[in-house]
Amino acid sequence: MSARLNILGNPTIGKAVKHFAAAGKVVQDSSLPVSTQHLITLRASQINGCGFCTDMHSKDAVAAGEDWLRLNLVATWREATCFTEAERAALELTEEGTRIADAAGGVPDEVWENAAKHYDEEQLGALVLLIGIINTFNRLNVLVQQPAGSYQPGQFA
């Protein structure tokens, strides 16, 4: 299987992806915990059915020291006991921010308020930015049917 379009080789998309990656660097450099960043990118990718990003973010998380058990349980975070209350709040915000079309009126105030209990203004900004960025990357990859499975950790560093 090959992608419908070479995202990085396409002159238009390739330029835009560089800007998205630069915005992602802002999140990486923020005070939002790296482990939380990995959980968010993995969960949004699962929801969006993006095999490429699910592959990439799970492998990058393991390379950064994340436990496979936690990664395997991200899709069932509500029932899993291995996530902190802050991580649960971030995962809930990720799900609501990813599934906007499913909720008339967008992200509920209760979800936002729960996240705000655990994260300061900078971290909330990083959460919002990261959720937006990963959803953009997911949609690009799903649209072009980017194949999954061959990603190597740090490949795009």
Question: Mind listing the domains of the chain with CATH numbers?
Answer: 23-142 (1.20.1290.10)
User: Of 33, 44, 50, which is closest to residue 133 (Cα–Cα)?
Assistant: 44
Under the banding of pLDDT at 50, 70 and 90, the label for residue 7 is very high
- pLDDT of 105 strictly over 90: no
- pLDDT of 157 strictly over 90: no
- The secondary structure element, H or E, covering residue 110 is helix 109-118
Instruction: Tell me how many degrees the CA angle 129-131-137 measures, rounded to the nearest 5.
Output: 100
| pLDDT reported for residue 154 | 85
| pLDDT reported for residue 102 | 84
Distances (CA, A) of 4 to 11, 90, 142: 15, 33, 10
- pLDDT of 156 strictly over 90: no
In angstroms, the CA 69 to CA 129 distance is 26
Mean pLDDT of 63-88: 97
* pLDDT, averaged across the chain: 96
